[in-house]
Amino acid sequence: MFRTAMFSVALIIAIPSAAIAHPADDKQSSGTIKFPVQCAAQAATDVERGVVQMHSMMYLPARELFQAAAKADPSCAIALWGEAMSYIHPLWPDRSSPATLAVGADLTARATKMGGHDARETAYITTATAYFAGGSKVPESERLANFESAWKAVYKANPGDNEAKAFYALSQLATADRSDKTYAKRKAAGALAEQILAAEPTHPGAHHYIIHAYDVPALAERALPVAENYGVIAPVVPHALHMTSHIFTREGLWDQSIEWNRRSADAAWELSQANGAISMHYLHALDYLAYAHLQKGEDDKALKVVHTMALLTAPFGSVSNAAQAYAFAASPARYALERRDWAAAAALQPRIPSHFPWTSKHDAYVALTHFARGLGMAHEGRFEGADAEVAMLVEIGAQTGPRSPYWANQVEILRLSAEAWVTFLRGDQEGGLAVMRAAVKLEASTDKSPVTPGAVLPAAELLGDMLVELKSYGEAIDAYQVALSKSPRRLNSLYGAAQAEEKRGDPGAAKIYYAQIAAMASETSTRPAVKQAQNF
């Protein structure tokens, strides 16, 4: 079916594959909800199981269940609603294609014409209709706003309906402004999900949406009690197993992140074998796994993950090619940049593997490769090449803006950071520092996307590195602290702060940072930063 050459999945996955079942095959292993519908018995069961899968964003298994429900009971309009909902991915970085929008519009039109068996079912159908209305003429942001408005109306009319409450919480998360540092919508969505969890302790959506709601540094601690339990109630669902690590990553709990992403990747690999195409959940988990290994200085293990990804030779599942594209671009860049291997960074090639179906919609992720190449070339003194990479970032940012202002901002942070170091290393230190500060300011105005465990190199950390070279150690420590406030227990930020304290003559303060590195890093790590921390 498909393979990975040289490095098999067994090198990184610990759970025996025989222990994993296809999520759609076990209705008791994905969490439980109460979703009464008036369809025939088998169809009603399939609809409920489909909604369970949808709450964990397992859209393909959900779609199969809704299609089975429609086949079992052709009068089951809510099954058509469910199938249409499986094409809506509110929190994912992908965008619905014109073909997908046409399919969704057809399903919702048929469901509307058929009508629900009761007022509740009919109201639910209006929510998917609101998203697909207007087709490709309507921007994604507007479709999601319409989706939220529809779910708000259903929830307000049925405040005791936990499923309406769950989907309303999801729609709020989809439209939350990532530049809003009050996190008003996140908190509101989290509060709704917490109400559901109190009433239904094994509800997958309640767990999932709490984690997404609090997946920011200021709120992450609120989700710790929920995080590990999500994988317990849904032990064979790849995305549920992975979602726990969003909070562990936010808190810098690398061992827990590694454990849950291993389990997620193993479950996703089994799902891939069952479906004949590599699940996006597999690559998504591996990207988080590589990041966690790098924070522990386990470079050999991170390299195995990167090689495993690069050597995949199978068809790629189409539910979210965006998540797969991000993982393919980010992980090799992380591996080079986290280790400050500038030659390796400069040698990276964009759009690898070449057999992956890269398109222009992936440009914002391909920007990570150009960013790494630009930094690598600048540090090697290859300024003409570095200039070309910065120019590519300018071009990608301009092309991305109309599609996604958020990702255009992320590309701009990369562009500013790369340009700052090119300028700095050319000899214009003041100019480079000014551009680097602009990158940090822009980075501070936004939050990371759920598709990534963190920046491949945070702008604040790069500012700290620049200030160390300028011997401005106090300012450097401040910059590293900014990076650590977003990414606690990040190895290179801790190491940078330790070095800055040591160089400015405060070994006691340096010891605090070195001790954190020594406590979290692998005892067998060969990373110079870890060795220095262990020997300090």
Residue at 283 is within a domain: no
Residue at 108 is within a domain: yes
**What's 436's domain CATH number?**
1.25.40.10
d(CA 220, CA 200): 22
The whole-number pLDDT of residue 29 equals 81
70 Cβ contact partners less than 8 Å away, ≥ 6 residues apart: 43, 76, 79, 80, 83
Split at pLDDT 50, 70, 90, the class of 220 is very high
Residue at 10 is within a domain: no
DSSP per residue, 50-62? HHHHHHTT-HHHH
Is residue 250 scored above 80 in pLDDT? yes
More confident of the two residues 163 and 26: 163
Q: Are residues 221 and 77 in the same domain?
A: yes
Instruction: Tell me the two tokens of residue 97.
Output: 């294609």
Which bin fits 21, alpha (ψ -120 to 50), beta or left (φ > 0)?
A: beta
d(CA 259, CA 266): 11
Residue at 272 is within a domain: no
Split at pLDDT 50, 70, 90, the class of 4 is very low
DSSP per residue, 200-258? -TT-HHHHHHHHHHT-STTTGGGGHHHHHHHHHHSTT-HHHHHHHHHHHHHTT-HHHHH
The whole-number pLDDT of residue 95 equals 84
Q: Are residues 141 and 37 in the same domain?
A: yes
Average pLDDT value for residue range 483-512 = 97
The whole-number pLDDT of residue 317 equals 77
Contact 265, 286 (CB under 8 A): yes
C-alpha distances out from residue 481 to 250, 463, 512, 525, Å: 15, 11, 13, 24
Q: Are residues 335 and 247 in the same domain?
A: no
More confident of the two residues 22 and 343: 343
Q: Are residues 241 and 380 in the same domain?
A: no
Q: Render pLDDT for 262-321 as a digit per residue (tens, 0 to 9).
A: 999 999 999 898 888 999 999 999 999 999 999 999 999 999 999 999 999 878 877 768
- Which of these three, 251, 275, 305, is where a domain ends? 251
DSSP per residue, 21-53? --GGG-TTSS-------SS-HHHHHHHHHHHHH
Residue at 389 is within a domain: yes
Split at pLDDT 50, 70, 90, the class of 61 is very high
The whole-number pLDDT of residue 314 equals 76
On average, the pLDDT of the chain sits at 93
d(CA 282, CA 58): 12
The whole-number pLDDT of residue 536 equals 86
Q: Where are the alpha helices (DSSP H) in 86-200?
A: 98-114, 119-132, 140-157, 162-175, 184-199
Is residue 362 scored above 70 in pLDDT? yes
Q: Render pLDDT for 172-203 as a digit per residue (tens, 0 to 9).
A: 999 999 889 999 999 999 999 999 999 999 99
Instruction: Tell me the two tokens of residue 69.
Output: 């429900």
Contact 167, 199 (CB under 8 A): no
Instruction: Tell me the two tokens of residue 423.
Output: 């300028």
The whole-number pLDDT of residue 23 equals 37
Residue linked to tokens 């009050």 = 182
Average pLDDT value for residue range 396-419 = 96
Average pLDDT value for residue range 423-442 = 98
Residue at 278 is within a domain: no
Q: Are residues 247 and 346 in the same domain?
A: no
Q: Render pLDDT for 131-144 as a digit per residue (tens, 0 to 9).
A: 999 999 999 999 99
Our count of domains for the chain comes to 2
Residue at 298 is within a domain: no
The whole-number pLDDT of residue 93 equals 87
Q: Are residues 400 and 531 in the same domain?
A: yes
Range of the domain at 341: 330-535
SS3 content of the chain, % helix, strand, coil (to 5): 70, 0, 30
Q: Render pLDDT for 69-99 as a digit per residue (tens, 0 to 9).
A: 999 999 999 999 999 999 999 999 888 899 9
The whole-number pLDDT of residue 9 equals 36
Contact 283, 324 (CB under 8 A): yes
Q: Are residues 21 and 113 in the same domain?
A: yes
- Which of these three, 210, 225, 251, is where a domain ends? 251
Contact 232, 18 (CB under 8 A): no
Is residue 27 scored above 90 in pLDDT? no
Residue at 276 is within a domain: no
Helix (H, G, I), strand (E, B) or coil at 7: coil
**Is the omega angle on the peptide bond into residue 353 within 30 degrees of 0, that is, cis?**
yes
Nearest C-alpha neighbor of 348 from the set 379, 327, 372: 372
**What's 73's domain CATH number?**
1.25.40
The whole-number pLDDT of residue 228 equals 85
Backbone angles phi, psi at 504, to 5 degrees: -90, 5
Contact 278, 323 (CB under 8 A): no
Give the number of other CB atoms < 10 A from CB of residue 5. 11
- Which of these three, 251, 286, 301, is where a domain ends? 251
Q: Are residues 391 and 520 in the same domain?
A: yes
Is residue 11 scored above 60 in pLDDT? no
Chain-centre distance of CA 77, in angstroms? 33
DSSP per residue, 246-304? HHHHHTT-HHHHHHHHHHHHHHHHHHHHHHTSB-HHHHHHHHHHHHHHHHTT-HHHHHH
d(CA 435, CA 514): 30
Is residue 13 scored above 60 in pLDDT? no
